[in-house]
Chains A and B, each alone.
Chain A
Amino acid sequence: MGSERAKDLAELAVATARVAGAAYAEARVQSTWERMFVLKNGEPQPSFFGEGYGIGIRVVSKGALGFAATNSMARSSIRELARKAVKLADASSQYLERPVLLDDSKPVRRRWAPPETRKVEDADAEWLRGVLLEIEGRIADGRPGVKLPGRLLYLGAELEGRYYVNSDGARVEGRIPRVGFAGSLTAVEGGATAQRFIQQGETGGLEVVKRVKLVDRVEEEAKAMGRVLKTAEKPPRDEVDVVLSPELSGIAAHESVGHPQEADRVLGREGAQAGESYLKEDSLGRKIGSPEANVSDDPTLLHSNGFIPVDDEGVEAKKRFLIKEGVINEFLQNRTTAGAFGLRSNGAARSVSFDREPIIRMSNTFVEPGDYSTEEVFKEVRHGVFFKSFTEWNIDDKRLNQRYVALEAYLIEHGELRGLVKSPVLEITTPKLWGSVKARSKHMDFEAANCGKGDPMQSAPVWTGGPETLLSGIRLGSR
């Protein structure tokens, strides 16, 4: 759909909703384009191509929030739907105990797009297949030193376009190209198996594959699986120090800092699904970790999987310092939660498609880098375990009780990495984890992930990452 028509329809939706009585209205015309190729054990699966677009309309009327969406883009359909959104909001207003109050964020007028060297639209099946075959060539037939009888490889290119308008004056046009890989590898050795799920992705064009060194990374993961199966021994049961890799630092930051600091969870809005939070409205300023615990979320990182410089409420997105020197510093806010807190939104509202309301989402959540080299972090450890990659993980719905089961993990003795240890389990409370942070390296790395939240479910692309993070005085479990 042409950009001028999208703008016209979005303006029509907002104007219609306002005439119908909405105190506030916004509309987002959003398009998606995607192409995916799959190899299962070297066998091509049907290639997939998808395209879609439609309009999502959100209103505040009589203090209640209403959202309506359609992909029927006739002007009459959009008028009718905008009126329906107002009518639904009005009908629910009799069951409101706390009317919606929007903050006074400055509306943004901007057109944005991250840099692309080679446009994602150039990703035809031949190119996608070519990349996957290169990976296949490195990991099939026992080449990584271990047999991988289960190899499921996905590579996709996608493009999201959006035009956003609201009755406060925001006008935002954005384009997000992304390239993403996911792979499930199953290795077998002497009757034992190991499994690894790998995900890599960034915003940008087809250059992403080389930028993230995709083929080398997957090959290295496959080799590590072989080493784990052949040599890993039981992990220590006594008290140890633990070094979390960037991958483990990232998942811990995402699960036990990012999620509980989403203001909608703090206010109870996700209570029936993803849950609430161990933090309350008055928890800002509460000490939760050591002075070395520093965790942030930054949607402005160039190339990142969660890049979004203006959010889906037309607010300038910015870096959020979630935990600063061990203290809860900031929640992720949208305009409605900020209104409830008496604050301003920090631009955390995102929607994954036209038919989903914008809700508070993480973007790129990470442990901040420290001032040690990676080697210096290990030198700090007399007796410990290095968690390099993980498989199983989960956390309770208040975000207090989490578990990470390592795949690739090493014993550390007197500052030196020794042999591999088998499936150590870090099952730990959030205050204990962040209270145990003793040091962080300067080295940073990120993993792509999809974060699930909301009802209907919205799976949002994010990055998780950080440096090598040293935790002192931990007891591990084992599988």
Chain B
Amino acid sequence: MNTMDLDELNETAVSAAKRLGVDDAVALSARTADSMIRFANNSATVVNRVEEAELTVYLAKDRRKAIASTSNLEKAAVLKFVRDLFASMKGLPESEYAPLPERPTRFSPSRLGFDRKLEDADDQLPGLAKTAIDSASSAGGKRSAGVISAGSGTIAILTSAGTRGTDSRTAITLNIRSFAENEGSGHGLSCSPCLSDFDPEEAGRRAGEGARSMREASEPEAGKYEVLLSPTVASNLVETVAGAASAFSVDAGTSYLAEKVGKEVAAKSFSLTDHGVTGGGLGGRVFDDEGVKTRSNKIIESGVLLGYLHNLTTAKKWKVKSTGSAGFVSPHPWNLEVGAGDASYEEMVKGMKKGIILTSNWYTRFKNYRTGEFSTVPRDGAYLVEGGRVVKSLKGMRAGDDLQRLFSSVRLLSKKREWIQWWEVDTPTLCPWMLIEGVTITRAYG
């Protein structure tokens, strides 16, 4: 199926919906082709190839709204799918409703984040995996596990008002962990929309070096510490801030940012922006699910919450304009960017009296999204710093806090930032190292 097929699919669905008399219709059809190699113990474990296409349709009639998706894309099936969806709406109640923009927008086909070399990268993946594994081994990792994914996707939109566009993207990502004696482990990653910026060697080196350095790790004393978060760890927490900035989360009572627009929610040095599209960002597109042009939205500037992310429905309720962040149901971020600081990593470490460096984490869970109370589990390279020097490696701990206090306690941000996307960070995030005061560290009983 090529791009023309996606356009035909959208035409078929929207024309059928209009014939049925809908007030609004949106068809979003997408085609993806993804390849993956996974490895463990320095050996390939499986290779995957998935080629898929899907049509998603949104219909509104008399304030009744429904969304449906199908992978059965034969013309007759699509026509029946739209008819059935329309028929099912008769039993629906009226709901919060905002009409689609009446004025159509024609988006030029976008290939801003597209690298032709990644369209069919199957053959290259085993060699790239070997590069990462070899680099990790050279740096001290005994055995490595990881995954490299490479793929391309095109999404096309057509609305009943005539808004139309296509957006094509590619991405390649690597997530690698290395293991050494005495349960030492280290983590590295690389992600990029283009092959030339993809660096499996450096990711492997970091993982191997982390594993080697953790061979004599011990548990820290529980207490409050100054904590230096790597871009990987910081991105995981920043993503939860952006989730809390969705107007849907605020309405649903699951946001610690409720009733805080215009107020300080972070340190003055902290700024957070969401970009519909941006250089180096793996996510996003030029239009959102409702056909609104995406843009850059400043969520937090100099520590002050400027506003929430909106789709048309939440924007109407809040009496603002859509931020181009739809989600038909819930607005969401596309590519996050945390503003850079002016410190180097070395300066940040040197300035720590007694603190902990965390390079990776997982399993962030909330006690209460309304208050932002959470804990997360550090893993891989973690180090105790005393008097500005790394004195030993650490394991077996947990970091807990609330998001408002945590981001209000940011003391330093690094000049250098990295793009992060991996298993624990869905939204691509450009993020610096963050030095944060007073983070609670606990350890298990027993």
- List A residues at the B interface (Cβ < 8 Å): 1, 38, 40-41, 43-54, 64-72, 81, 84-85, 88-89, 91-98, 124-126, 129, 149-152, 184, 186, 193-195, 267-273, 275-276, 355, 357, 391-398, 400-403, 405, 423, 427-429, 431-433, 435, 455-457, 474-475, 477, 479
23 pairs from A and B in contact (CB 8 Å cutoff): A41-B251, A45-B329, A47-B89, A50-B68, A51-B70, A52-B72, A54-B52, A66-B49, A68-B50, A69-B48, A69-B50, A71-B72, A98-B41, A124-B91, A125-B88, A152-B254, A357-B46, A391-B368, A401-B444, A427-B444, A455-B38, A455-B147, A457-B423
Contact across chains for A53 and B93 when beta carbons are under 8 A apart: no
Q: Chain B: how many interface residues by the 8 Å CB criterion?
A: 87
Which residues in A have their C-beta under 8 angstroms from that of B52? 54, 69-71, 355
Q: Give min CB distance, A355 to chain B, whole Å.
A: 5
- List B residues at the A interface (Cβ < 8 Å): 1, 35-54, 58, 65-73, 81, 85, 88-89, 91-96, 122-123, 125-126, 129-130, 143, 145-147, 175-177, 179, 183, 248, 251-254, 328-329, 362-371, 373-377, 379, 396, 398, 423, 442-446
User: Which A residue sits closest to B143, measured CB to CB?
Assistant: A268
Given A44-B95, A95-B39, A194-B368, the answer on whether A396 and B145 have CB atoms closer than 8 Å is no
Which residues in A have their C-beta under 8 angstroms from that of B68? 48-51
Contact across chains for B44 and A43 when beta carbons are under 8 A apart: no
Which residues in B have their C-beta under 8 angstroms from that of A67? 46-49
Q: Give min CB distance, A455 to chain B, whole Å.
A: 5
With most chain A CB atoms within 10 A of its CB, the pick from B51, B69, B88 is: B51
Given A193-B368, A357-B46, A392-B367, the answer on whether A50 and B69 have CB atoms closer than 8 Å is yes
Q: Give min CB distance, A444 to chain B, whole Å.
A: 26
Q: Give min CB distance, B419 to chain A, whole Å.
A: 18
Contact across chains for B71 and A95 when beta carbons are under 8 A apart: no
User: Which B residue sits closest to A133, measured CB to CB?
Assistant: B93
Which residues in A have their C-beta under 8 angstroms from that of B93? 44, 129
Which residues in A have their C-beta under 8 angstroms from that of B71? 51-54, 71
Our pick among A49, A273, A276 for the contact of B88 (Cβ within 8 Å) is A49
Q: Give min CB distance, B58 to chain A, whole Å.
A: 7
Determine chain B's interface SS by DSSP, over half rule: strand
Our pick among B1, B92, B122 for the contact of A125 (Cβ within 8 Å) is B92
User: Which A residue sits closest to B330, measured CB to CB?
Assistant: A45
Q: Give min CB distance, B332 to chain A, whole Å.
A: 15
Our pick among B70, B398, B423 for the contact of A455 (Cβ within 8 Å) is B423
Given A71-B53, A455-B147, the answer on whether A429 and B175 have CB atoms closer than 8 Å is no
Q: Give min CB distance, B370 to chain A, whole Å.
A: 5
With most chain B CB atoms within 10 A of its CB, the pick from A268, A355, A423 is: A268
Distance A474 CA – B376 CA, assembled complex (angstroms): 22
With most chain A CB atoms within 10 A of its CB, the pick from B35, B93, B442 is: B93
Q: Give min CB distance, B208 to chain A, whole Å.
A: 13
Which residues in B have their C-beta under 8 angstroms from that of A400? 396, 444
Distance A129 CA – B94 CA, assembled complex (angstroms): 12
Contact across chains for A269 and B37 when beta carbons are under 8 A apart: no
Contact across chains for B177 and A271 when beta carbons are under 8 A apart: yes
Contact across chains for B95 and A429 when beta carbons are under 8 A apart: no
Contact across chains for B363 and A394 when beta carbons are under 8 A apart: yes
Contact across chains for B367 and A423 when beta carbons are under 8 A apart: yes
Q: Give min CB distance, B316 to chain A, whole Å.
A: 13
Contact across chains for B370 and A186 when beta carbons are under 8 A apart: yes
Contact across chains for A427 and B47 when beta carbons are under 8 A apart: no
Contact across chains for B49 and A84 when beta carbons are under 8 A apart: yes
Our pick among A1, A151, A273, A355 for the contact of B175 (Cβ within 8 Å) is A273
Given A46-B328, A394-B375, the answer on whether A477 and B442 have CB atoms closer than 8 Å is yes
Distance A272 CA – B125 CA, assembled complex (angstroms): 17
Our pick among B1, B49, B88, B143 for the contact of A68 (Cβ within 8 Å) is B49
